[in-house]
Amino acid sequence: MIQILLNEWKGWSRTGQFRWLFVGLVGVLLLLSYFGVQDVRNRQALVDQSKREVREQWENMGPTNPHGAAHYGSYAFKPLNSLSALDEGVNLTAGSVLRLEGHVQNEVVHSAQSQSAFISYFGPLKASIVLQVIVPLFMIFLTYYAVKSEHEQGRVRLLMVQGITYPKLVFGKVLAIWILSLIILLVTLGSQIAIFGAGLEADFLLRSALIVLAYAVFYLIITSLTASFCAWASQGASSLTFMLAVWVVWLIFLPKLAGWYVEKQHPLPSREAFTSAMREDRSKGIDGHNPADEREQAFKDSVLMAYDVQHLDSLPINYDGLLMQADEEYGNKVWDKHFGSLFEVMQRQKTNLQLVGLINPYGSLRSLSMGISGTDQWSHLHFQKEAEAYRRVFIKELNDEHAYGGSKNGDWGWKAEQEFFNGIEDFHYTNPRYTQAARIYQQDWFNLILWLVIALMSLGVATKKRESKPL
Amino acid sequence: MIEINNVTKSYKANLALNGLNLKVGKGEIYALLGSNGAGKTTTINLLLGFLEPSSGEIFLNGSKPHVDRKVVSGNVAYIPENVSLYPYLSGVENLDYFCGIAGIHKSKQALKEILTGCGLQESFQDKKVSEYSKGMRQKVGIAIAYTKDAKVLLLDEPASGLDPSASNELTALLKKLASEGACILMASHDLFRVRETANRIGILKQGAIVEELDAADVTAGTLEEMYLQYMKN
């Protein structure tokens, strides 16, 4: 086996075309790693600078009415995961900045796609695209030529007379090509780590190891399947055509078809329908029988009763602050209801798309690549939920100050001191650890392992069958 | 060592071998003489275990080669008409690789001596095979077979592409191996080379042996006459 492996490598290293192709591929990956890391660094620096500026403005606001400050608001910036230099995931379209203010829950904005016409047309060129699309194609051609050349040149007979079994010969070639793909993968990831100079945090190391594992399994699936098609097919070119057809189906048709089907099965509401339903619930009540004016009246009565007074002016606190907080809390319930069902639909969509991985391991690899890189939908929603949780605390602090800080009802000119605002903590968010999300990707791992077993079994059966009829 | 009993082999409607009977013993060189399509290569492929006979039995050292592949890998060396080597390896590297596959490990110097013994000039031994002529590749093929120290040698047009001097060297080598106890079956349509090399000659026509001769009993002229007569009929 080792001899076959070394012979393959020797062959590649002495073939000019291969050398150029390999150097070109690795060169492109190194360049993409460099630019990817630079991009992440620049964006992270911009995020850090924006955070500083937002905080600076907040701390230099001077005495202000708390409700005015709630409208002034703050921002939540999504921190970049180091591995997003490798796989951008949904960050491309999902955005990274969320404005936090009173009364409304905004959407995350400033996506790469919204800021670049080029990216919106073609998408960014990331190392993950080369690793997911180009490297497997390279593996397919390499495997095809490695197996088929032995037949076409007539060496198989001589080799088998010398004592090698056909399965061993083909598996040796598969192994040689697979290890080559691992080298490409490790060089890419290693260069990113080297350029980044990222600290060797346990989570980062775990994610890096899992990225290598996911891609390694996928590459073994690709090389084993290609080799088994070569062994099955009596005519050389038909196996290549077949494997390329499979690749196109995996890469283009199945993801689109699956996306269309999942959207049809679990449709998401349009933006207009969604916001108008939210508005409706907020004004007419979640159950439709609890309109805003009635809610306000009931709340007013409960406050007057609690303080045992007849009029709002008699309250020792500022009723406006309490009312705004009550309205805020009702708004939160509306948000929880609508976003809750939205997240549920998204989760169902994700689960269904993951199941498609049973017939498309490429889909599972993409899902895992994004998931492990921390740039998938789950990570984005995690940020959004955490930001919303912070917004609620942030707005409550302002409303409480408005209510209990010393002002009276209707006193909109009242101002809280700067010290109060300085005491409100910023939004601190760290990306979740992989272990927090690991269970979400179980289906993807299962799909890849299943396909690996299928590919290896297919290779075993095909080569065994071919051994009995090698001519 | 080689025993073929009433073997037929058909490819769909085409009958390649039609009741072939053949025995080659230890120390014997048997030449199958026949035109293209007579069934020579099919016979060799059957002996290599790459094909299964449609009927009849084939034995190599007492075992059926298409059933027991180890009898082939353990006992047989094979030289095809066109020896396909790895073009990016040198002659000595090719020999090393094919020997390594057979579990034979020799020093570079020993391998070079074998190549020299098989007629490959020293100045070419370290050059890439892509620069070799057909005859030079054939010599590496002979070296691969020789190094295996096999009990049975199957040769399909082994002198194809060899110059007269190399052909003579091959004849001498085969005779030496036979004298050491090897059983050799060669397929050829080179009457002269066959008569020079073999002990026995079988004329193969339409998948069956139509005439079997002792090489010592026949002159080159008579052999040619007989052969042409059979081909004409």
The band of A227, judged by pLDDT with boundaries at 50, 70 and 90, is very high
Assess whether pLDDT exceeds 70 at residue B207: yes
Between A295 and A420, the more confident residue is A420
B208: domain CATH number?
A: 3.40.50.300
Q: Which of A401, A397, A407, A415 is nearest to A63 (CA)?
A: A415
Whether B71 is covered by a domain: the verdict is: yes
Q: How confident is the model at residue B108 (pLDDT cuts 50, 70, 90)?
A: very high
Residue B110 has a pLDDT of 93
Provide residues of A within 8 Å CB-CB of chain B: 3, 7, 10-11, 14-15, 153-155, 157-165, 467-471
Lowest mean pLDDT among A111-115, A221-225, A426-430, A442-446: A111-115
Place A370 in a pLDDT band, splitting at 50, 70 and 90: very high
On whether any CB of chain A is under 8 Å from the CB of B84, the answer is: yes
* Residue among A127, A93, A126 at smallest CA distance from A110: A93
Q: List the single residue in B45, B73, B82 with the smallest CB-CB distance to A163.
A: B73
pLDDT band at B230 (very low <50, low <70, confident <90, very high): confident
The CA distance from A467 to the nearest CA of chain B, in Å, is 8
B21 assigned to some structural domain: yes
- Kindly tell me if the per-residue pLDDT of A19 is higher than 80: yes
Position B190 in a domain: yes
Q: Is residue B112 part of a domain?
A: no
Position B169 scores a pLDDT of 82
Residue of B nearest to A151 (CA): B84
Average pLDDT over residues A264-288: 80
pLDDT at A363: 92
Chain A: residue whose CA lies nearest to B73? A163
| Residue numbers in A near B148 (CB within 8 A) | 162
Residue A252: how many other CB atoms lie within 10 Å: 11
More confident residue, A270 or A222: A222
Mean pLDDT, all residues of chain A: 86
User: A435 to each of A441, B212, B214, how far by Cα in Å?
Assistant: 10, 79, 81
What integer pLDDT is reported at residue A287 of this predicted model? 63
pLDDT for B90 equals 93
Across B199-228, average pLDDT: 84
Query: Among all residues of chain A, which has the CA nearest to that of B144?
Result: A162
Q: CA dihedral defined by A142, A146, A148, A150, rounded to 10 degrees?
A: 170
DSSP run (H or E) holding B203 = strand B200-205
d(CA B213, CA B227): 11
Task: Please report the pLDDT score of residue B16 as a whole number.
Answer: 83
Give the DSSP per-residue string, A335-347. HHHHHHHHHHHHH
Task: Please state, in angstroms and rounded to a whole number, the distance separating the CA atoms of residues B174 and B156.
Answer: 13
H helix runs in A285-318, sequence order: 292-307
Interface probe, candidates A150, A153, A155, A158, chain B, greatest B C-beta count within 10 A: A158
A63: left (phi over 0), alpha (psi -120 to 50) or beta: beta
Using one digit for the tens of pLDDT, what is the confidence trace for A38-77? 888 888 888 889 889 988 888 888 888 888 888 888 888 8
Chain B positions in Cβ-Cβ contact with residue A153 (cut-off 8 Å): 84
In a domain, B104, yes or no: no
Amino acid at A349: Q
State yes or no: pLDDT of A111 exceeds 70.
Answer: no
- Residue B225 makes CB contacts below 8 A (sequence gap 6+) with none
State which residues form the domain around B27: 2-83+139-232
Across the A:B interface, residue pairs with CB atoms under 8 Å apart total: 68
CA-nearest of A67, A107, A99 to A396 is A67
* Residue B7 pLDDT exceeds 80: yes
Name the closest residue on chain A to residue B67, using Cα atoms: A468
Q: What is the mean pLDDT of residues A118-133?
A: 74
A110 pLDDT tier (thresholds 50, 70, 90): low
Pick from A238-252, A285-299, A314-328, B129-143: least confident: A285-299
Asked whether residue A450 carries a pLDDT value surpassing 90, the answer given is: yes
Average pLDDT value for residue range A297-319 = 85
Q: What is the mean pLDDT of residues A407-432?
A: 85
Report how many domains make up chain B: 1
Model confidence at A113, pLDDT cuts 50, 70, 90, reads low
Torsion of CA A145, A150, A154, A155, to 10 degrees: 150
Residues of B in contact with A467 (CB under 8 A): 69
pLDDT beyond 80 at B179: yes
Helix (H) / strand (E) containing A229: helix A202-232
**Residues contacting residue A89 through CB under 8 Å, at least 6 positions apart:** A369, A370, A373, A374, A375, A376, A379
8 Å CB contact of B88 and A154: no
Of B89, B102, B103, the CB nearest to A10: B89
- CB pair distance less than 8 Å for A158 and B89: no
Set of chain A residues whose Cβ sits within 8 Å of the Cβ of B66: 468
Which DSSP helix (H) or strand (E) runs through B204? strand B200-205
B148–A10 C-beta distance less than 8 A: no
- Identity of residue A53: E
In a domain, B132, yes or no: no
B34-37 — which CB contacts under 8 Å span 24+ positions? B34/B187, B34/B189, B34/B203, B34/B204, B34/B205, B35/B189, B35/B205, B35/B231, B36/B189
- Mean pLDDT throughout B1-7? 88
> According to the model, what pLDDT value does residue A269 have?
83
- Given a cut of 90, whether residue A217 has pLDDT beyond it is yes
B50 CB neighbours in chain A (<8 A) are 157, 160, 469-471
Distance between CA atoms of residues A408 and B3, nearest Å: 115
Residue B118 lies inside a defined structural domain of this protein = no
Strand partners, B144: none
**Chain A contact present for B46, CB below 8 A:** no
Closest-CA distance of chain B to residue A156, Å? 9
* pLDDT over 90 at A3, yes or no: no
Name the residue facing A15 among B72, B88, B93 (closest C-beta). B88
For residue B86, list chain A residues with Cβ-Cβ distance below 8 A: 7, 11, 155
Q: Verify whether the Cβ–Cβ distance A163 to B89 is below 8 Å.
A: no
What pLDDT does residue A66 have? 84
> Would B78 be classed as within a structural domain?
yes
CA distance readout (Å), A184 to A177, B45, B143, B218: 11, 41, 38, 66
Contact (CB, 8 A) for A203 and A434: yes
* pLDDT (0 to 100) of residue B127: 93
**Spatial distance between the Cα atoms of A431 and A282, rounded to a whole number of angstroms:** 32
User: Is any Cβ of chain A less than 8 angstroms from the Cβ of B11?
Assistant: no
Nearest to B43 by CA among B187, B173, B151, B228: B187
Tell me the C-alpha distance between A63 and A421, whole Å: 9
Give me the mean pLDDT over the A90-114 stretch.
Answer: 72
Pairs from A441-444 (Cβ < 8 Å, separation ≥ 24): A441/A367, A441/A368, A441/A371, A441/A372, A443/A351, A443/A354, A443/A355, A443/A357, A443/A364, A444/A354, A444/A357, A444/A364, A444/A365, A444/A367, A444/A368, A444/A371
What's the rounded Cα separation, in Å, for the pair B145 and B85? Answer: 13
Which of A5, A8, A161, A467 is best to mutate for the B interface (most B CBs within 10 A)? A161
Give me the torsion for CA of B178, B182, B187, B188, rounded to 10°. -20
Question: Closest Cα to residue B228, out of B203, B207, B198, B209?
Answer: B203
Q: Do A158 and B76 touch (CB under 8 A)?
A: no
Proportion of chain B above pLDDT 90, given as a percent: 21
Lowest mean pLDDT among A99-103, A332-336, B77-81, B151-155: A99-103
Percent of chain A with pLDDT over 70: 93
Tokens 């993801």 correspond to what residue?
A255
CB-facing half-sphere around the CA of A339: CA atoms within 13 A: 14
B76 and chain A in contact, CB less than 8 A: yes
Supply the ipTM of this predicted assembly: 0.89
What is the pLDDT at residue A123? Answer: 62
* pLDDT score recorded for residue B73: 84
Q: Contact at 8 Å (CB) between B95 and B54?
A: no
**pLDDT band for position A167 (50/70/90)?**
very high
DSSP A438: G
Task: Tell me if chain A has a CB within 8 Å of the CB of B16.
Answer: no
Question: Which residue, A334, A326, A342, is CA-closest to A283?
Answer: A334
Cβ–Cβ gap B80/A157 under 8 Å: yes
Query: Which tokens sit at A152?
Result: 């076409």
SS3 content of chain B, % helix, strand, coil (to 5): 40, 25, 30
Report the distance separating Cα A45 and Cα B207, nearest Å: 82
| pLDDT (0 to 100) of residue A120 | 55
The structure tokens 């079997």 sit at B212
Confidence of residue B115 (pLDDT cuts 50, 70, 90): very high
Q: Tabulate helix, strand, coil % of chain A (nearest 5).
A: 75, 5, 20
Evaluate if residue B98 carries a pLDDT over 90: yes
